[in-house]
Structure 1
């Protein structure tokens, strides 16, 4: 047994690694929106990896304040790009708490960060406590990475490196008022053949006594205790079709856009506009692919934005920021299906209609 806080525990070749901790064991934890707390198991193989896979399961994953905080249980591959500083990546997992578009609760999502500092997030639907699902991030050639959930295609990240520097799995939270009980089984990477990940456990220093963890080859588990918060059920965003007619559509889309901008730290966005298209065309304009092709509106605006869910100190050390916010909104439900931050607004979505 190894007891440690905020250090890498390199125990490759051992049968298992246990790291025990309880709330208050080493002083109060300092998880926040700008300093996330992590409990993860990592591998950085040589030669570099070309795929990673795990069966993710949570028995509870929740936060007390779902409007402002979040907890993730996930797997991510840090990609080998010209910016070799661990700040480009592709991830997939379960999230509980605040999301763009008004969602609350336990959902599957995938996201990526690219060498041009762009960030995109995509929602995949409801996750269920106690049920494992396989996630896979696999190099697809041409600096593209395919993402799979339950062995079904979920999307593609483009322009994001030709192999992976490392793979991580585990928990990421912005608050100590959280419950996490999650595991990653059949946890492995591919470089030539498939290899089970040897235990290499990290708990961020600001976590202090928050986590209990256990790892052995091909398996990782972390736990805060489920306590009274329990597992957060999905609370979908309100469903309302985007109304027909230019004026009515602009009014509804403007409200959605300004709410999303406020969630990203910008209360007075400028240059709001929209384009009617399909989800696949919208994704293609950002160099991505997604797993459905419904009719959507793309809303864009300018401002000073920070990704509300992913400052990712464990992945890059810097918040994800941008001067352009893009939302993809399902025309039939009015819900955000995808969104992203970039350095500037793109005209590749098509002719834009201004939103007053």
Structure 2
């Protein structure tokens, strides 16, 4: 199912309006609930009563929700009808990395391969033999983790990724700027310099300026393995490009039946379908995360760093695709036209088609444009 039952909030392009409209799903219909003072997802999140507001706000029907989702697919979009956008607006877009042991090992492999995917298969076997232990049982920053760190340094396989994977400090980085994320059905972008890359299916939390976690959505943290593997200092180039942050289809707000515990026990399914007939499937289990969502939020926001418009935080992924695509030992990389679908029972399905960042629609509508348009419409 593209969207679940629950209290859903998102944004949509609606013909006749210069600015994105705030929408929710009621039954099978999509409703426009944009109102003065509640004309951004940011304002709803910061109100202290987000779920109640979205559930009870007066609205105007935009038609069947499934029809709007169908019209949101880039190749089929008709501008005369509503289409979904990313479900967030003024929030900062943050991400946490190396939060699962499987992705931890793959990041080490990237680093050792120096961006050369032809070496990945052999390095995977070599590194697993050297480590010789199950890192998933380690609590990051614990005394046991520090002993493992010392042992790995002695073996000569220590890595900056092992540091953030089992060390005391989480990796938190800026995935993109406010208003830069794309939504359901949009194209997601790969930097044209990359030849080894992959989707990262993740849950992303909606967090208020006070640090309250009030909802969640699905995300694709598009990753360039060759670029980041050359140097971790290239993280910005590997992670933040046009259309490289996808979120959606909606933010589901927490209520009595959907909570953070639901997220902690979620199973995330990934399916990649290529125009060449290639199919890749995988799953991530959120109960395998090595740092709790609460600890990742605390590492992002607090007295050390404030976000007055709140944030969304990608929680990381345990899925690192290694299935060979173009021959034995070559592993996985995207091809243009791949359709990536990420789904959970509680959050629905986020689907996007892969293109080059230089070929995706350029990001031209920013925070200043939104605020000017809302002011003209007397909605601020």
Please report the TM-score for the alignment, with normalisation by the length of structure 1. 0.25
Structure with the bigger percentage of strand: 1
TM-score by length of 2: 0.24
